[in-house]
Amino acid sequence: MQVTLFDTTLRDGAQTEGISFSLEDKLKIAKLLDELGVHYIEGGWPGSNPKDIEFFKAIKDISLKNAKIVAFSSTRRPNVKVEADKNIETLLAAETPAVSIFGKCWDFHVTDALKTTLEENLAMIKDTIAYAKAAGKEVIFDAEHFFDGYKANKAYALKCLKVAEEAGADVLCLCDTNGGCLSYEVQKIVIEVKTKTKKPLGIHCHNDSECAVSCTGMAVNCGVIHVQGTINGYGERCGNANLCSIIPILKLKMGLDCVTDKQLKSLTEVSRHVAEIANLPPSAHQPFVGRSAFSHKGGIHVSAVTKNSGTYEHIKPEAVGNERRVTVSELSGVSNLLVKAKEYKVDLKKDSPEIKGLIKVLKDLEHQGYSFEEGEASFELLLKRTLGLAKPAFELEEFKIETHKKGAAGTKVSAHVKLKTKGREYDATGHGDGPINALDNALRKVLENIYPEIKTVKLTDYKVRVLDSQAGTAANVRVIVESADETRSWGTVGVSTNVIEASWLALVDAIEYKLMMVS
């Protein structure tokens, strides 16, 4: 069975709260989707905004290898001739080979939202599809609210499909627009609909019950061959069916070659690239493509995975372009340390005398509030220093921070740092927007002349978490600093009851890690 993938990231996904794609963003995403092997890319609703009209003009100049571009619209408006409807005129002016047209299939929506008659709604579906087919378009009919409509008035929902089929629709896409269906409901309804229709069926699910992926898979299992969704599950409210889960499920679990093996291996990269374009943080716990999807923390898990990855992994991470990660924590055992040591190119044996000491130090630090999952560079420093493979490049003599505010004027902050390195003492004063920024600037003033390699290091993220809020202002805080140079990024961690000291510890580790890497 051949399944076609229909991506609506640029239309339905663009309705996500917090997303505002520019024209350039949409063109970049379209190229990524085409390389992934998606068969249809729904570019937007040209009748709704000028940006989508510009997209359809601009995409004509881009040569796509796999995908057809699709323009989206509603049926004609009630009591308006199809040839006089501006939305339909703009839809055809987009000059796409395929169009998706949505029509109401729930009688409640027809009477209460459209404020028209059930017969007029059927005429709207028929006229619009027939008009688009006469213009030479491939037509996907999005049967909006189909599942809710079927439950409320089976005869009318089926009549909407029959009218669309008779008007020439190429695909009848059943939509769970409110996202309230469970997979067994989809199974029952799709099986019944297949006996009443002749045209290929599609599925379009929303995720309001967190069942969009399972409902989509069930629909395909029941014979649906056209699958709609978005990258990372972006979409209005709780989002749409997530193609980053659906694609590997179809290919690896159901044996349907919807994309090639090579295209599947690009899935994680595409997921993260689209998240970057959308300016949203990628979900670490997203199945298949998330950073934590193949992460192992418990010592028993790590021990088993190192022997056979199938013990705690349902697929090989490389199949979707992801990777296995072993993290270290108070739950770690010897297996975790051996895996990390190998990753750091450190020769550490199972019977090494340092192992027990490392585990004890690790558990003591985590008890204080350290977390090395996001601060792996700090752990690598700890490991190598414990084994005598790395030494601190500098020592702190003292630092002092002064904050001055007068009246309504802005706050002025300065930091004075005194360090010892290479047998000499150095000091410098830095200024900044806040105490951490001033401290970072003072530290760099001292060190950049001595270690010019650190000039390329940039702080890319800074996170503070209060570890015990019940302790109030005396609570321990954990600071995670993300740093990067031209080729890589790394995280470091510091913990203290003093947020400035915790930040200092994380900042120092960030610099020390860079120096260790270049030494």
pLDDT digits (tens, 9 = 90+) for 222-254: 999 999 999 999 999 999 999 999 999 999 999
Does residue 378 lie within any of the structural domains? no
pLDDT, position 286: 97
Residue 415 is assigned to a structural domain of this protein: yes
Q: Which residues contact 426 (CB under 8 A, 6 or more apart)?
A: 418, 419, 420, 446, 450
Range of the domain at 442: 395-518
Q: Are strands 477-484 and 226-229 parallel, antiparallel or unpaired?
A: unpaired
Among 259, 287, 305, identify where a domain stops: 259
Look at residue 335 and tell me whether its pLDDT is greater than 80: no
Phi, psi angles (nearest 5°) of residue 102: -100, 140
Kindly indicate the confidence band of residue 331, based on its pLDDT and cuts at 50, 70 and 90.
low
Residue 324 maps to a domain: no
Count how many domains the chain has. Answer: 2
Does residue 339 lie within any of the structural domains?
no
Q: What percent of the chain has pLDDT over 90?
A: 75
Instruction: Examine residue 381 and state whether it is found in any structural domain, yes or no.
Output: no
Res. 209: pLDDT tops 80: yes
Answer whether 423's CB lies under 8 Å from 394's CB: no
Domain-located, residue 310: no
Q: How high is the pLDDT of residue 58?
A: 97
Q: How confident is the model at residue 442, as a pLDDT?
A: 95
pLDDT at res. 217: 98
Sheet holding 458-466, edge to edge: 458-466, 477-484, 489-496
Does 421 score more than 80 pLDDT? yes
Mean pLDDT computed over every residue of the chain: 92
Of the residues 204, 227, 259, the one at which a domain ends: 259
pLDDT of the residue at 330: 53
* CATH code at position 74: 3.20.20.70
Report whether pLDDT(275) > 90.
yes
Please state the pTM of the whole predicted model. 0.76
Section 485-511 average pLDDT: 93
> pLDDT at residue 99 above 70?
yes
pLDDT at 472 (0 to 100) = 56
Read off the pLDDT of residues 124-153 as tens digits, 9 standing for 90 and up. Answer: 999 999 999 999 999 999 999 999 999 999
Share of the chain above pLDDT 70, in %: 97
φ/ψ of residue 80, rounded to 5:
-125, 135
Q: How many residues comprise the chain?
A: 519
Q: Per DSSP, what are the bridge partners of residue 429?
A: 416
Q: What is the pLDDT of residues 52-88, one digit of tens each?
A: 999 999 999 999 999 999 999 999 999 999 999 999 9
Question: For the domain that residue 412 is a member of, what is the CATH number?
Answer: 3.30.160.270
Question: Is 472 a domain residue?
Answer: yes
Which residue, of 238, 259, 280, is where some domain finishes?
259
